[in-house]
Amino acid sequence: MDERIKRLLYLAEFDYKKDKKLIKENANVLFESKQTEQQAAAILKLLDERTLTDLINKFKTVDLSKNQVLLPLMAKSYLEVGNRGLNELLILFKSVSELINANKITTPQITDAGYVVNNKTFRNYLGFAEYVHGLEGMSKGHAEWKGKINTDVDEPPIFPDESKGDRTDTGIEIYDGNDVGKCIKYSTGGLTGKHYNFCIGQPANTMWQSYRDSQVSTFYYLIDKSRELDNPLHIVVIDMTSQGVQLTDANNATVGPFAPHGSIAEFGTDVGAYMEYIRKRGVPIDRLINSEKTPDEEAEQSKLGSGNDDLGWFKKLSYEEKSKYVGRGHLLSDEQFNYLWDFKNDKGGYHLLHQYVDTGQAIPEAQFNVLVSD
């Protein structure tokens, strides 16, 4: 198609009195799409005409990008994967065009060095496909997960809860610690900007689960904003165990049924007095309940409780599982870290990496060098 055809199209559209700008754009799209189609055909010139037409039509059905710019790239990829990989190729490029339209990736190019996308170069189709599927998983996984949990905003406290008519002037906030990842976050600066020595809140700890297993611990983090940060009662972990209430103050001093000889600041061994004190301050203490272990919790622990350096295993985790695994404070293997690093500019990848560097623990030197690299 040349300028004459373009002009004819323009005039034809003009007859219908459409917006000039729109007409011009349409003519350009048609013209350029045809161009990419011709480029694709040139790449596949060894095919017979019928096979070629059939193939190009298939490419066109999945290329949702503007001007169908992916057609030549699909043709090149087809030369690598052949008919056996055609279905997968079509699925991949549908995803690619969706990601382009969502501004998640730049339009891929093929150079002498291989496939280039988002400033990354992949020597072959397989590397390119793996990257795209990973990005798609991060992106979609994060979007789905955000539907359940808002990862941009911290989880709200269970007290005060305005929907339940709670007073908001007590100076006290309570957060549930029903997940080891939350306890790590809360103990490593997530609530007060301070780091605490609570064993249930150290990265990669196994104590949270041990307490769940042995005493059906159900943790709550109480922040008392009326106290200065050097006051041991400015944060108290309340554990509603199967045997009763156990308290731990900021100094990591504990008292309760499983620490009968312990003592916390101000209230010493008198757990009841402390609970009465916060009740009088306005805390509905009946909302602090002991929760039985659930089968889901057991399954999650069995899958994510121990560190696993294998990249394949990590990739197969759902986005939510990846987040829970990272949130548990496990150090990633270099391969796993580098895998996430490729997606640092995607919201999903960024969230996981942010979780990873947010625990206060040192990451291994090789990963550190990637983190601070120019």
Partner 1 sequence: MDKSQKQLVDTYFRKRGIANVQNTSYEFEAYEILYLINNKIPFDFSSLKAGTIADILVKQPSLVNKLDLSKISYEESNSFDTTYKINYILKYQPQLIDYIDISGFDGYHIADLLIIQPLLIDKVDLSILNDENITDILKEQPKLINRLDLSILDDKHISEILKEQPQLAPYFK
Q: Which residues bind partner 1 (CB under 8 A)?
A: 188-189, 193-197, 344-345, 350, 353-354, 357-363, 365, 368-369, 371-372, 374
* Nearer Cβ to partner 1 (160/203): 203
**What tokens were used for 62?**
């999945």
Rounded to a whole number of angstroms, the minimum distance from the CB of residue 191 to partner 1 is 12
Q: Which residue's entry shows tokens 């219908």?
A: 16
Please report, for the chain, how many H helices and E strands are present, in that order.
15, 8
* Nearer Cβ to partner 1 (160/327): 327
Rounded to a whole number of angstroms, the minimum distance from the CB of residue 363 to partner 1 is 8
3-class DSSP assignment, residue 122: strand
* Nearer Cβ to partner 1 (23/353): 353
In whole angstroms, what is the distance from residue 208 CA to residue 372 CA? 32
In whole angstroms, what is the distance from residue 91 CA to residue 110 CA? 19
* Nearer Cβ to partner 1 (195/287): 195
Rounded to a whole number of angstroms, the minimum distance from the CB of residue 62 to partner 1 is 30
Rounded to a whole number of angstroms, the minimum distance from the CB of residue 301 to partner 1 is 24
Rounded to a whole number of angstroms, the minimum distance from the CB of residue 95 to partner 1 is 22
Cα separations in angstroms, 363 against 310, 323, 350: 17, 17, 16
* Nearer Cβ to partner 1 (332/353): 353
Rounded to a whole number of angstroms, the minimum distance from the CB of residue 319 to partner 1 is 18
268 φ, ψ (degrees, to nearest 5) = 55, -120
Best CA proximity match to 117, nearest among 99, 102, 141 = 99
Best CA proximity match to 71, nearest among 103, 44, 106, 111 = 44
Rounded to a whole number of angstroms, the minimum distance from the CB of residue 298 to partner 1 is 30
**By the 8 A CB rule, do 265 and 251 touch?**
yes
- Bond prior to 156 in cis (omega within 30° of 0): no
**What tokens were used for 206?**
């196994």
* Nearer Cβ to partner 1 (185/227): 185
In whole angstroms, what is the distance from residue 254 CA to residue 236 CA? 10
* Nearer Cβ to partner 1 (289/372): 372
Q: Cα angle at 358 between 354 and 359, to 5 degrees? A: 140
* Nearer Cβ to partner 1 (158/180): 180
* Nearer Cβ to partner 1 (198/314): 198
**By the 8 A CB rule, do 370 and 341 touch?**
yes
**What tokens were used for 297?**
């919790």
Cα separations in angstroms, 191 against 237, 285, 316, 352: 12, 20, 32, 19
Rounded to a whole number of angstroms, the minimum distance from the CB of residue 327 to partner 1 is 14
Best CA proximity match to 73, nearest among 85, 52, 87, 90 = 90
Rounded to a whole number of angstroms, the minimum distance from the CB of residue 349 to partner 1 is 9
